[in-house]
Amino acid sequence: MQLTGPEILRRMHTPNMSNPEHKPDIIIEPFDEKCLGSNSYDLHLGNQLKIYKHTLPYGMRPAIEYKRGQKYSMRDWFTDYGAYLDFYRHPEKYDPRNPKYLLDPCDEKLHETQDLEIPSGGLILSPDVGYLGHTMEYTETYNLFPYIDGKSSVGRNFILNHHTAGRGDDGFCGQWTLEIRVLYPTVVYPNMRIGQIYYEQFIGDRIPYNENRASHYNGQMGPTPAAIIPIEDIKQR
């Protein structure tokens, strides 16, 4: 059962004696009531991005600072003219489908990141790069199931703000990491509305995320790279 906008607001202003420090069930910081919808709250894009260094071809820019009115071309994706010429001579070296850029979810060495900052004037993202972003908002959720999704206007600009990590947990505290992809070269701005957070009731005993030793991302701030996925010996019957 999904909470309505007025119920989200009520929960934010109602201390719960069963929560740590008697906190309310929902905390959103910063909060602006104009971002409260009929059954969700709008979230905004923070100004920090990360990319996995291993996935970026040598000589290519991960993004381009946007200057309104300027004309852009393929040349702008490259750090120098030599790399641009190399791209035309050997396009396979710059193709993200090239296995040299593989990500191994179980190999920590391939998850080293490069930091990017989104300037106030905007940043052009590339369709060939995956970006880790984050919400400007810090949230805490207790006794509810939180999840985020894209706004319709974001989707209609073909910006994907999460792949599979749109679902949160009861007890999660932190900013939300976003897995951002674009279909076309697309400008993003700090503090632009990037998604919505929803809350649902659940049934059963609680296993709060912030009390689970196996949780990886509680308290995260800014874009957080992937934890290494374990390969486990699960015995079959």
Query: Which residue in 21, 65, 137, 179 is the catalytic one?
Result: 179
DSSP secondary-structure letter at 127? T
Q: Is 179 labeled as catalytic in the residue annotation?
A: yes
Do residues 117 and 36 touch, judged by C-beta distance below 8 A? Answer: no
pTM of the model as a whole = 0.87
The SS3 call for residue 237 is coil
Q: Which of 16-20, 33-37, 59-63, 72-76 has the lowest mean pLDDT?
A: 16-20
Angle at 91 between CA 90 and CA 93, to 5 degrees: 75
- CATH architecture of the domain 5-46+135-182+189-211 equals Distorted Sandwich (2.70)
Under 8 Å CB-to-CB from 31, ≥6 apart: which residues? 12, 41, 137
Rounded mean pLDDT, 134-158: 93
Q: What is the mean pLDDT of the chain?
A: 89
Angle at 186 between CA 184 and CA 192, to 5 degrees: 140
Angle at 52 between CA 234 and CA 192, to 5 degrees: 110
Tell me the domain boundaries of the chain.
Answer: 5-46+135-182+189-211, 50-125
Q: Please state, in angstroms and rounded to a whole number, the distance separating the CA atoms of residues 99 and 118.
A: 29
Residue 169 has pLDDT above 70, yes or no: yes
Predicted pLDDT at 217? 59
Rounded mean pLDDT, 151-174: 85
Predicted pLDDT at 14? 95
Rounded mean pLDDT, 11-33: 94
The SS3 call for residue 64 is strand
Do residues 106 and 177 touch, judged by C-beta distance below 8 A? Answer: no
pLDDT band for 121, please (50, 70, 90 cuts).
very high
Residue 40 has pLDDT above 60, yes or no: yes
pLDDT in tens, 191-231: 999 999 999 988 776 666 665 565 555 666 777 676 776 77
Predicted pLDDT at 152? 87
Residue 98 has pLDDT above 70, yes or no: yes
DSSP secondary-structure letter at 158? T
Torsion of CA 138, 142, 143, 149, to 10 degrees: 10
Residue 182 has pLDDT above 80, yes or no: yes
Do residues 159 and 180 touch, judged by C-beta distance below 8 A? Answer: yes
Residue 163 has pLDDT above 80, yes or no: no
